[in-house]
Amino acid sequence: MTRFGDFGGICSNTPSYTWCNLFYRQLENPKFNISNLLTGLSANSSTAPVGINPTCGIARVGSNGSLGNIANILVCALSIIVVVGVLFMAERRKAAVGRVELRNMLVLYLLTLPFQLITNGSLLEQGSTGLVVLTAIHAALVATLFWALLANALVSLQVVEDGTMSSLAPFFIFSLVVFIATLYVSLDTALGFTTVLGPSSNPIELRSIPLFVLTSIWPGIAALVYFAIMMFIILRMLKETRPTLFYILAAVCFIFSQLAWFLLGKVLCTASSSKIDGSFIATILETATIVLLFYGWKSITEGDWDDKLYL
């Protein structure tokens, strides 16, 4: 039976699941003498795909002509362009409530894209220090991104004035705390500094409750609370209904992005003979979520300024 915090099933059945990079290095640690557990596609670290003994995976770029996770690489590159465009549009709205906080969230999402391109693109050798460090930074950015998402909802309540030190100081302090905590847990999982916040005392289990909470439970809770707060603001405080469409569509895209990871991944990987998986669809939907959140924010703040003043 799978226990809370177990990654074994996910890493073998979900192609390109990024956080599995941290467990591959853990199993290679000579002090455990358990590297023989890396079998099948994972047996050779120089060609191994993302995952731990995956049933299907995209081989490392260059292995038998593999292009790596080329579909997601291209989608990440295109998403970077899209998010830069959204940032530009957000910057033009100088008088909009929560503009600075929204910009910070967009920047954080933008930063996750090149890391995602590398960490689940099958570009670097499994177990390498470079891949471990980049994956740990990626995990820290994702956890911080969801704090930024929640912070945007809290700012929208206008308990404190947006864009001021009373708003930005807590934002950056908590961002730093979440980033450092997740970075430490991620590195500890891979490198085994301790057995308190790091991996299980039995690495064979592929289990880390702190990592699971920070990369799976926390994003889900933050997204749910964000949605609830925004619905309250729109329906009860602003007494509007039209902007809810953007937020509902954003929620649908986010949910389907997660389903693409876990349900479509192995199906597409098998059908394409290990050339693509569900990660590129997930990235498309995640980027669509960010774009819809921007337009949702724009729809509830568009009355606060005159666009012509900033053309």
Could you count the other beta carbons within 10 Å of the beta carbon of residue 55?
14
* Nearest C-alpha neighbor of 10 from the set 289, 262, 303: 262
- What does the mean pLDDT of the chain come to? 88
Indicate the DSSP class of residue 310: G
* Nearest C-alpha neighbor of 70 from the set 300, 272, 244: 272
**Is residue 88 over pLDDT 50?**
yes
Domain of 173 in residue numbering reads as 8-310
**Is residue 92 over pLDDT 70?**
yes
pLDDT-derived band at 197 (thresholds 50, 70, 90) equals: low
Identify the pLDDT of residue 306: 42
Least confident of 34-38, 136-140, 172-176, 189-193: 34-38
Identify the pLDDT of residue 226: 96
pLDDT digits (tens, 9 = 90+) for 110-130: 999 999 999 999 999 999 999
Mean pLDDT value of segment 4-15:
90
Indicate the DSSP class of residue 44: -
Number of domains in the chain: 1
Could you count the other beta carbons within 10 Å of the beta carbon of residue 32?
15
Asked whether residue 25 is assigned to any structural domain, the reply reads: yes
Q: What is the CA radius of gyration of the chain?
A: 20
* pTM assigned to the model: 0.92
**Is residue 156 over pLDDT 60?**
yes
**Is residue 150 over pLDDT 90?**
yes
pLDDT digits (tens, 9 = 90+) for 277-309: 999 999 999 999 999 999 999 988 865 434 433
Asked whether residue 78 is assigned to any structural domain, the reply reads: yes
DSSP string, 108-170: HHHHHHHHHHHHTTT-S-TT-HHHHHHHHHHHHHHHHHHHHHHHHHHHHTTSS-TTSHHHHHH
In the numeric block, the tokens 């500890």 are attached to: 188
CA distance 197 to 191: 12
Asked whether residue 1 is assigned to any structural domain, the reply reads: no
DSSP string, 166-220: HHHHHHHHHHHHHHHHHHHHHHHHHH-S-SSSSS-SSGGG-B-HHHHIIIIIHHH
**Is residue 34 over pLDDT 60?**
no
- Tell me the β-bridge partners of 207: 6
CA distance 150 to 108: 13
Identify the pLDDT of residue 100: 87
Asked whether residue 54 is assigned to any structural domain, the reply reads: yes
Helix (H, G, I), strand (E, B) or coil at 264: helix
Say which CATH number the domain at 152 has.
1.20.1070
Mean pLDDT value of segment 150-168:
82
pLDDT digits (tens, 9 = 90+) for 223-266: 999 999 999 999 998 888 889 999 999 999 999 999 999 999 99
